[in-house]
A and B are shown apart, each in its own frame.
Chain A
Amino acid sequence: MHNFDYHAPKTLDSALALLRDKEDGKIIAGGMTLLPTLKQRLAAPSDLVDLATLSELKGVRRDGDEIVIGAMTTHADVAANADVQSLIPGLAHLASVIGDPAVRHRGTIGGSVANADPAADYPAAVVALNATIVTNKREIAGDDFFVSLFETALERDEIITSVRFPIPERAGYEKFRHPASGYAVVGVMVAKFGDKVRVGVTGAAGSAFRATDFEAALEKSFTPDVLLGIAVSPDDLLSDIHCTNEYRAHLVNVMARRAIAAA
């Protein structure tokens, strides 16, 4: 690990000021992604700005027909939250299957979303539930947030403060997990809002995407079996040492059907 200066600002404004003023400042949330990168000396920020002390970024609340999750809320807290469990059980389930207990008790939703790992779980929910990413500057629609592999619409001095999830009628999440890392090889969230259906897929491609063919079929009949004949093209999907794109394409369909069954 290279040397850096550590800051624990008391307010969001001072956090932003630090980010602006320091030569190469970086936010640290749970550190579950950032710390391994630093330890492997793959990144060498001059300053780390810790958001842990900003209590306004923590916690879950209901706001009308949305659930609002503070950026610094850990995966374990989301999984255990009574409102999330009763109003969007699929989201509570998603948070409960991220990594392992240690990761879930440190890692945060803000960090996960900002990092935009193609194999992370939350992006499926952001896309399927049409969530809004709230930052200190603006609100970004879920569909516009993930740009590509590890790349989001966030600007350098922009801090995610919360994520707003509309409460669906039903939603389910199913994940094919990589046993070494715990990440999603393929994860699919299916959400039903009245007669609209949104299907968010993570793990399969460079960034989370909507399976629009599935959505159209499910809007006619919200049952697993309507997806049986609908093949997913492997063309733009990831192929790596873990799984080929053909297998991922197949799994998108299987996971989607199981997510519907679980919804």
Chain B
Amino acid sequence: MGQFGIGQPLRRKEDPRLLQGRGQYTDDVNVEGQFWGAFLRSPHAHADILSIDLEAARAAPGVKAVYTSADLDADGVPDMPCEVELADLAGAPMWKPMRPILARDRVRFVGECVALVVAQTQKQAREAAELIEIDWSPLPSVADAREALKAGAPILWPELGQNTPVHWQNKPSLEADAAMAGAAWRVDVNIINNRLVPAPMEPKAALASWNEQEGESLGKLTLWAPTQGGRKIQANLAKRYLRIAQDRMRVISLDVGGGFGMRGQTYPEYVALVWAAKQIGGAVKWRADRTETFFSDYHGRDQVNEAQMGLDEYGRIVALKIHTLVNLGAYMAENGPRMPIEGGGRIIPCCYHVPHFYFSVKPVFTNTVSTDTYRGAGRPEANFLMERLMDAAAEATGLTRDEVRRRNFITEFPYKTPMGYVIDSGEFARGMDEAMRMAEWDTFEDRRAEAYSRGYLRGIGVAAFIEAAGGRAPTEDMRVRAELDGTVTIFSGSHAHGQGHDTVFSQLLNEFLGVEPARVRLVQGDTDVTPKGSIGTFGSRSSMMGGAGIKASCEKLVAKGVKIAAHLMQSEPDAVTFSEGVFHAGGSEMSFTEVATAAWDATRIPEGMTPGLDEGHNFQREAENFPNGCHVCEVEIDPETGIAEIVRYVAVDDCGAVLNPLIVHGQVYGGVTQGLGQAMIEHALYDAEGQFVSATYMDYGMPRAHRMPFVEAGFNTVACRTNPLGVKGAGEAGACGAPPAFIGALVDALRDYGVTHMDMPATPEKIWRAIYGAQFDTQKSDGIYAEVT
């Protein structure tokens, strides 16, 4: 069993099916007699709707219904709330707007839903949507958070009177100010963390179906949609929007083409479609096209950070002050303002001990689509800022970049952060040493000189980072059932959409029950079938939350199995042991499958016992866990074009106990790719009029495989002390380490040109301007990039 157990590099069980095109996605589902929906979206960044004329659309061929906010209002469907509660230091709560499902009287970003057309075919629905006539009265708009705070900027919410709904601070800045005043060195870093689109391969899609056959008392709404586990969406749709019992709503997520944090939310499209299905008493299907995906999926990042750090004469941090602006978009998404304050706040100030920490955050409304969770959700932003500060500290103090980090790493655990979170474990210096060793840091200067002799500029960057995994929802519900045919089914509350749970959870069953992975079936993503306490997958939580739930379920199965085995082998339960899938009693033995089969036969089990081996466990975590690691990136710049090529990339991860190294490395590669995408080419760019000008793949730079480096991945394993498997998350680490490692390398390569920082995406033009900078205005290019063939 060692071959398939914990720690083995088992290949992904799910791949043959997915790679051979046998996946089943939402768009693959159809029900008899379904209608199609199409949304009319706002072409304006900010405008009043003076009137809407639906007559032509309603009369168009095949049209069943056309809905606007008036219809939803008439039925009492409420607007969408933000779930985050914040207050300023005086205790005044954050002001929160509500988002109408379909725009009411005013639109506030390009792509906002205005009307829903339901017709017999998709084409009819789209064509009818084009017939809706709206009399718009455009308003001035603003897309950039800094611009939105300037006097005279267009105001998104007149009832608030300004564009920031709260000024949140962790505490007054007095202590940090005093400590800063006494610092031997002070470094300032001002950075922009660029806005990104999550860009899942599968666009949003939905099929909402009202099943009347079961009669009014059992009638049920089903929503097929790509989610990260539909339980919360089920609860929202049922209780808030439709006002039906939660179980009268069923949410099914089949295969999902990428989550990245943007699939957990109850999007307005889902609400409108489910409501429309109920209205017409039938089914309505919808599939976003790529442009809608760009316009309406919640975006990620988009922060502006200004920070000052003070160090003593030994290079130890004495104080840190951070001022962050986070661009919320026009409305507040479910988690919007949570990104810097809780998303990043769970780890900030990252791997370092900071005695006096002041943190100020202003969320800002702009005429853009909302921002919300995206791979790392605040932690990549926090780590990027801290690592830029540490590089600046090295520059100021004259210490090497690794030494200044070493002098400030947290070394004693458990460690309580200034924000009150407790980090259980970590060996940050050891991880950095290992990454630098793997990357041959100490011979870098030779490589720099060699590159220089060829006319290229080389640089190397190091980035230590810390993550927080398994936060927020503190429980997860898992169930394991032994079947009669020797297979075992996992009913999983957590939800895989690329993470490989089928493989990893099978390894856990192999470890705990001795069952072969080929005999394990994973059932997930159906609120009628998965445990009622299921939550889903986000924030790198599944190894801990799902894994521990499986472990506990297996322990219950074994405990019951021991009693049954004792009964069948005429022994005492105390005398029965279970190991490697076999129950032993004296000289006799029974396999797990034999006992499981017997367990379902009421005549073969102890009297009074409920038949079956079917056990669930609602795991409640003690604490979240703190994955961490260190990346080293080496770049070579062609100074004539400004193109930076990554020539070496090392990622060392502490994700606690490693359940499957292949899967972890896969997560790291994906995260690194997203991180490098952010650092090199990705930019969700709005122009001054609030038009989203990089909203196609012809303009938005998705990282391509051929430009990605080979990542040498290593482990610096420190088992987590606060969960039964000793695991830490692995999903978001790569996206935290890559941006600072790359930018650090770039700045190192350009040091001779006086470059101390470069904002992302660091396009060739920006790099070229840094080199030939004197004659040009370096701020001029906000643009995207290019590469030579």
A residues apposed to B, CB below 8 Å: 1-2, 39-41, 97, 174-181, 183, 185, 240-244, 246-247, 250-251, 254, 258
Contacts and interface: CB of A to CB of B under 8 A. Distances in A.
A179 B787 contact: yes
A215 B704 CA distance: 36
Contacts of A1: 123
Interface stretch (B140-148, B388-396, B646-654, B776-784): B776-784
Interface string B668-689: 0000000000000100010100
Contacts of B699: 180-181, 241-242
A241 B784 contact: yes
Interface of B is mostly: loop
B641 A246 contact: no
B783 A242 contact: yes
Given A247-B768, A250-B768, A180 B789 contact: no
Nearest to B693: A241
A247 B765 contact: yes
Given A179-B786, A183-B698, A242-B785, 4 more contacts: A181-B699, A241-B694, A242-B786, A250-B772
A116 to B, nearest CB: 17
A174 to B, nearest CB: 7
7 contacts: A176-B786, A179-B701, A179-B787, A180-B699, A242-B784, A244-B765, A247-B781
B125 to A, nearest CB: 13
B788 interface: yes
Given A247-B765, A250-B768, A254-B641, A241 B783 contact: yes
B787 A176 contact: yes
Return the 8 tightest CB-CB contacts between A and B, nearest first. Answer: A181-B698, A185-B786, A97-B789, A180-B701, A247-B765, A242-B784, A254-B640, A242-B783
B707 interface: yes
B641 A176 contact: yes
B678 to A, nearest CB: 14
A252 B698 CA distance: 22
Contacts of A183: 698
Given A241-B782, A243-B783, A179 B789 contact: no
B685 A243 contact: no
A1 B126 CA distance: 9
B523 interface: no
A180 B765 contact: no
Given A180-B698, A180-B702, A241-B699, A175 B788 contact: yes
A174 B787 CA distance: 11
A237 B289 CA distance: 33
Contacts of B701: 179-180
Given A179-B681, A180-B681, A254-B640, A240 B783 contact: yes
A97 B700 CA distance: 20
B788 A176 contact: yes
A97 B780 CA distance: 30
A176 B782 CA distance: 18
Contacts of B3: none
B788 A180 contact: no
A178 B697 CA distance: 11
A251 B123 CA distance: 44
A180 B641 contact: no
Interface string B745-789: 000000000000000000001001100100010001111111111
Contacts of B694: 241
Contacts of B784: 178, 180, 241-243
A178 B785 CA distance: 7
A176 B130 CA distance: 39
B176 to A, nearest CB: 39
B51 interface: no
B643 to A, nearest CB: 8
Nearest to B785: A179
A179 B781 contact: no
A246 B788 contact: no
A244 B782 CA distance: 9
B789 A177 contact: yes
Contact of A244 (B123, B700, B704, B781): B781
Contacts of A246: 776
Contacts of B765: 243-244, 247
B132 to A, nearest CB: 15
Given A179-B704, A180-B699, A244 B788 contact: no
A179 B698 CA distance: 9
Given A179-B681, A179-B704, A180-B699, A244 B786 contact: no
Contacts of B789: 97, 174-175, 177
Contacts of B698: 180-181, 183
Contacts of A97: 789
A258 B788 CA distance: 11
B620 interface: no
Given A243-B783, A247-B765, A174 B685 contact: no
Contacts of A177: 786-789
B290 to A, nearest CB: 9
B291 interface: yes
B203 to A, nearest CB: 13
A244 B763 CA distance: 12
A243 B788 contact: no
Nearest to B291: A40
A220 B693 CA distance: 44
Contacts of B704: 179
Contacts of B772: 250
Contacts of B697: 180-181
Contacts of A180: 681, 697-702, 784-785
Contacts of A185: 786
Nearest to B776: A246
A241 B685 contact: yes
Contacts of B785: 178-180, 242
Interface string B473-507: 00000000000000000000000000000000000
Contacts of B681: 179-180
Interface in B698-729: 698-702, 704, 707
A251 B702 contact: no
A92 to B, nearest CB: 13
A97 B706 CA distance: 14
A116 B339 CA distance: 45
Contacts of A243: 765, 781, 783-784, 786
Nearest to B700: A180
B788 A174 contact: yes
Contacts of A178: 784-787
